[in-house]
Structure 1
Amino acid sequence: MDALTAVESLAFSPDGRTLAVGWRAGLVGLWDVTRPAAARPVGEPLNLKCPGVFSRRIAFSPAEPTLAAACGDDTGTIGLWDLTDPARPDRGRTVEAGSDVYALAFSPDGRSLAAGARDSAVHLWEGADTDRPTRLGKPLKGPTQPFMSVAFSPDGSTLAAGSADHSIRLWNVTHPKTITLLGRPLTGPGSAVTDVVFSPDSRTLAAGNTDGNVDLWSLPPTRIPGAGGNVASVAFSPDGRTLAAANQNATVSLWNTADPNNPVPRGEPLAGRKEPVNAVAFSPDGRTLAAGDGGGKVTLWNTADPGRPVRLSEPLTGADGLILAVAFSPDGDTLAAAGGGLGGRIALWDVSDPAHPVPASGVSGSGGKSVLSLAFSPDGSVLAAGGDGSNGTVGLWSTEQPGARIGKKIDQPTATSTWVAFSPDGRSLATGNSRGVVTLWDSTDPHHLKKRRGKPLIVPGGSLWSVEFSPDGKTLAAGGHTDNGTIHLWNVTDPDRPTPIGQPLTVETGFVAVLAFSPDSRTLAATTDDGVATLWDLDVESSINRICAASSGALGEEEWERYVVQPPYDPPCEKS
């Protein structure tokens, strides 16, 4: 066979009726494979008109009759064709990556095209399904070696690129104009990554390596990419159908979580201010969303229709510093906000009419430089505040006599920050500090918090950044970090005898910053410092059913004996 006729790449059209064959000579042949046993060529081969004769990769759009084919030249020439009628292909415009292209991939909607190149970058174009494709931002830079493979996840939220340096990088492409890196690069035992592909549910990534092996990566159960920068805070609406995420690019993202395993964006992120958003909270009736920012202001949004939020009034002021925590009282009439205000000031507003909020008497100084956490007791009579290392205490404040302290300060170790949470029945207060110690207090009488419930709960070798009770009161979650983000769960049905629940959950995308349970207690959301929020399904039966459905009951007796050994074979998935 002549070297110029060697096949370099193959691709099926989305409907499976056409096979494209890329030859080294810079030609792409189209074959009608409607009847595979009688496949026939369709028209003349497409001529890439490459500057040289070496062609590289081809790719079909999964949504449109568009074919992309790359040359092997130094300018990275990529030709686009409209194959609505494969017998009469219509050549569109040509784009250039500026460097030799090694890989091509279309987004699931066919609107974006990604090209992995020798210049250690992924180049993107939007409008790839039109005759006017345009560059989409700056190239995504990665390692010092070329990107050999690229792939979009089927849900369209993630772009993966495998490199010759053995690593895989992931980007959040939910909002193509604000693409952000997702966590740290994935690195395995393999060699240069030559190909990457996602599973249909977007939860597993396979990577082929030059050493002949394939690495499988289990991605976090459900990831919600932020709109830009770190995701600083998350909050579920009271009906559990919406999740709000505070982004460091000064926006708030809303996600439809009616199906927590498949969250869907609710429109574009809310943009109200220019400062990073650090905290979000829904009112108890779910009709108002509060977002506190780095400029010391709180923006209120009407979320009665979460698909069409409307900003209410002018941003609230009075916290005297960046906002790190916001909380609504259980009756929804009071909003508290605090952060880096002078002396740890806590600002309060009467929001019984959210369209016309009125400042109320707050706490002029909680004793430290900043307040990191706020929590109302279930009856709304007490506001707990956890502070930074300059404070070293947890304070309880009366909402019936604004500014009045309740009981004594709860001392914490020197130079530690503290986070707080009340149990749903109000009988326990959890305090978690940055040394990794969680203490449960009997808060039946908040004026006399002397009795500790059980022994302190310890997170080995790590610190805590968040504590949260599940709405059913059965579970306490604590999030923090060691080498990776970790989430520890305890059964606190009997708060005097808490017991660990399984192994800690780990989050590969970064350190855990904030936790939030869904109203039914079945889903746990965790934010990280790498621009991702992860949703964990805590319903055991639901998890088993999902795993069995995804694996088609693949753990047979042979695999059981190889990987499980003991106990005797007990198929985890019922055969249908």
Structure 2
Amino acid sequence: MNLLCPDVFSRGIAFSPAGHTLAAACGDEDGTIGLWDLTAPDRPDRGGTVKAGSSVNALAFSPDGRTLAAGARDSAVHLWKGADTDRPTRLGNPLKGPTQPFISVAFSPDGTTLAAGSADHSIHLWNVTHPKTITLLGRPLTGPGSQVTDVVFSPDSRTLAAGNSDGNVDLWSLPPTRIPGAGGNVASVAFSPDGRTLAAANQNATVSLWNTADPNNPVPRGEPLVGRKEAVNAVAFSPDGRTLAAGDSGGNVTLWNVADPGRPVRLPEPLTGADGLILAVAFSPDGNTLAAAGDHENGRIVLWDVSDPTEPVFEAGVSGSGGKSVLSLAFSPDGSVLAAGGDGSNGTVGLWSTEQPGARVGKKIDQPTATSTWVAFSPDGRTLATGNSRGVVTLWDSTDPHHLTKRRGKPLIVPGGSLWSVEFSPDGKTLAAGGHIDNGTIHRWNVTDPDDPTPIGQPLTVETGFVAVLAFSPDSRTLAATTDDGVATLWDLDVESSINRICAASSGALGQEEWKRHVVVPPYDPPCKKS
């Protein structure tokens, strides 16, 4: 078969997954790539031709065979859609990377991620879930090896192998379950009350909905929801799961009817009155009130009666909470109190009455100077957690919120400093705190006895960026975390479920002989019991 690359060698070939299309890159400076129809392998038919504009080093097809990626000498990955047709067309602008050429490319088997290895020994990852809005997925992976000559994903898309020109192979364990945003940072996440849908707020003014019936294999629920033109910073589901609220940087809250999450319907008019970008939204436990707050000169908290979401009514809120920004809102489980954590200009946590809007409940809780604070009530309402940007979490006895003076146990410290989020699990047994040091870090404590909290295992870490917002699934078995690099990550906290999944995937790989070779002591105790 003549690849029709006159006077030059072929620099790369790739078959589509179904084997019906062959892509062949010539070694010319124009980056010529020929496509061949191999439906009848004994009679290959020349299809379309595309040009990258720079010499091509590597080719890869997406799992559905419709997209072709080419890593080129110009330090970019070029994409074409319709690669399985005779008329392929450019897919967006080239994906720019390091200063050195890309010499290897690969799509993950689940089709959500594109990896490209560079001559500068780094690997760039992109979210390609939505081809029209491809975004960089976290920071480049940089290992100890030399230039990355080949990249390949494991069948479950969770491990990336990188072959280096020094003869070594680096293995990268990717975050447990990654949910790529639709564009820009993922600022907020929220589970629906039935746990079957996760909403993610995107900085490209959209909200992504994911089917999380199987949290280990989330699936997009259609295209991202498009509201107004401003970045979405906060999302929340109503307690009955029929309404989704999305607060944006324009000071508006858009409501969506998500009774059928596969067919969400935007309600006509956005809620206004916040007069500043919105950073937090929260529904009252009965679902009749929606609170929103954010960046405002006096820390305004606005309230709406949303007992009928199609006809929301503006209510008196808190005209001045004492600072310039409110970063966090939390209703007490009985709905009588609204707690607000603010930025460094505030330096306090305030409790406000929902029965007498604007009336303070008890005394404000002072925080260290120039620190921001986040708040969360335990499900039984007897404990209020306050976490500040110095990495200190304090548990307060909130049995009587009018006299919030008693601390429960010693302050919980997040090593290394900063903290951006605190959250109780719905079963009340776990408190999680997310922060940012070198990597995204999540610390967990057992708070079954809130007067004696104890750490749970090692911190959870994620390489894709600093942890910003946390959310537990209703059954407390899954933890979602947003990062500042356009990714939400899910952790399966059900130990028994994790063991079963690992054992099913390993097919008994750690047998008695392997145990003797690698473990030695204690005696063989098969980690995966046979039924």
Q: If the length of structure 2 is used for normalisation, what is the TM-score?
A: 0.98
Q: What CA distance in whole angstroms lies between the structure 2 residues aligned with 1:554 and 1:483?
A: 34
- Is this contact kept in 2: 1:194–1:210, CA < 8 A? yes
* Inter-CA distance 494–205: structure 2 relative to 1 (3 Å threshold): same
Helix, strand or coil for the counterpart of 2:500?
helix
Deviation at 1:191, TM superposition (A): 1.2
Q: Does 1:373 align with 2:328?
A: yes
Deviation at 1:554, TM superposition (A): 2.4
Q: For each residue in 1:482-527, what CA deviation from the matched residue of structure 2 results, as whole angstroms up to 9, or x when unmatched?
A: 1101000000001101000000000100000000000000000000
Q: What CA distance in whole angstroms lies between the structure 1 residues aligned with 2:234 and 2:11?
A: 48
Which structure 1 residue ranges, 4+ long, deviate > 6 Å from structure 2? Answer: none
Helix, strand or coil for the counterpart of 2:338?
strand
* Inter-CA distance 81–339: structure 2 relative to 1 (3 Å threshold): same
1:79 to 10, 26, 34: 34
2:279 corresponds in structure 1 to 324
Q: For each residue in 1:443-477, what CA deviation from the matched residue of structure 2 results, as whole angstroms up to 9, or x when unmatched?
A: 11000001100000000112110000000000000
* Inter-CA distance 427–552: structure 2 relative to 1 (3 Å threshold): same
* Inter-CA distance 559–392: structure 2 relative to 1 (3 Å threshold): farther
Q: What CA distance in whole angstroms lies between the structure 2 residues aligned with 1:288 and 1:233?
A: 16
Bigger Cα displacement from structure 2, 557-566 vs 281-290: 557-566
Q: For each residue in 1:249-295, what CA deviation from the matched residue of structure 2 results, as whole angstroms up to 9, or x when unmatched?
A: 01000000000000000111011111110000000010000000001
Deviation at 1:245, TM superposition (A): 0.2
* Inter-CA distance 453–561: structure 2 relative to 1 (3 Å threshold): farther
Bigger Cα displacement from structure 2, 152-161 vs 539-548: 539-548
Deviation at 1:557, TM superposition (A): 4.8
Q: What CA distance in whole angstroms lies between the structure 2 residues aligned with 1:438 and 1:469?
A: 12
Deviation at 1:342, TM superposition (A): 2.5
Q: What CA distance in whole angstroms lies between the structure 2 residues aligned with 1:194 and 1:117?
A: 13
- Is this contact kept in 2: 1:234–1:245, CA < 8 A? yes
- Is this contact kept in 2: 1:442–1:449, CA < 8 A? yes
Q: For each residue in 1:378-437, what CA deviation from the matched residue of structure 2 results, as whole angstroms up to 9, or x when unmatched?
A: 010000000000000000000000110000001100100000000001010000000000
In structure 2, the gaps of 5 or more residues are none
1:234 to 189, 192, 195: 189
Helix, strand or coil for the counterpart of 1:406?
coil
- Is this contact kept in 2: 1:427–1:442, CA < 8 A? yes
- Is this contact kept in 2: 1:52–1:72, CA < 8 A? no
Helix, strand or coil for the counterpart of 1:316?
coil
- Is this contact kept in 2: 1:51–1:73, CA < 8 A? no
Q: If the length of structure 1 is used for normalisation, what is the TM-score?
A: 0.90
Helix, strand or coil for the counterpart of 1:454?
coil
Q: What CA distance in whole angstroms lies between the structure 2 residues aligned with 1:201 and 1:342?
A: 49
* Inter-CA distance 192–497: structure 2 relative to 1 (3 Å threshold): same
Question: Aligned residue pairs: how many?
Answer: 531
Deviation at 1:221, TM superposition (A): 0.5
Q: What CA distance in whole angstroms lies between the structure 2 residues aligned with 1:479 and 1:560?
A: 37
* Inter-CA distance 201–575: structure 2 relative to 1 (3 Å threshold): same
Helix, strand or coil for the counterpart of 2:267?
strand
Deviation at 1:558, TM superposition (A): 5.6
Helix, strand or coil for the counterpart of 2:503?
helix
1:264 corresponds in structure 2 to 219
Q: What CA distance in whole angstroms lies between the structure 1 residues aligned with 2:141 and 2:474?
A: 33
Deviation at 1:234, TM superposition (A): 0.1
Q: What CA distance in whole angstroms lies between the structure 1 residues aligned with 2:472 and 2:135?
A: 26
Q: What CA distance in whole angstroms lies between the structure 1 residues aligned with 2:322 and 2:259?
A: 37
Helix, strand or coil for the counterpart of 2:78?
strand
Q: For each residue in 1:33-69, what CA deviation from the matched residue of structure 2 results, as whole angstroms up to 9, or x when unmatched?
A: xxxxxxxxxxxxx322113230121111114611111
Q: Does 1:128 align with 2:83?
A: yes
Q: What CA distance in whole angstroms lies between the structure 2 residues aligned with 1:507 and 1:163?
A: 22
Bigger RCO (CA 8 Å, 6+ sep): 2
Helix, strand or coil for the counterpart of 2:188?
strand
Q: CA RMSD, aligned part only? A: 1.3
Q: For each residue in 1:112-132, what CA deviation from the matched residue of structure 2 results, as whole angstroms up to 9, or x when unmatched?
A: 100111111111001111111
Q: For each residue in 1:521-556, what CA deviation from the matched residue of structure 2 results, as whole angstroms up to 9, or x when unmatched?
A: 000000000000000000001111122222223234
Bigger Cα displacement from structure 2, 371-380 vs 137-146: 137-146
Helix, strand or coil for the counterpart of 1:315?
coil
- Is this contact kept in 2: 1:64–1:129, CA < 8 A? no
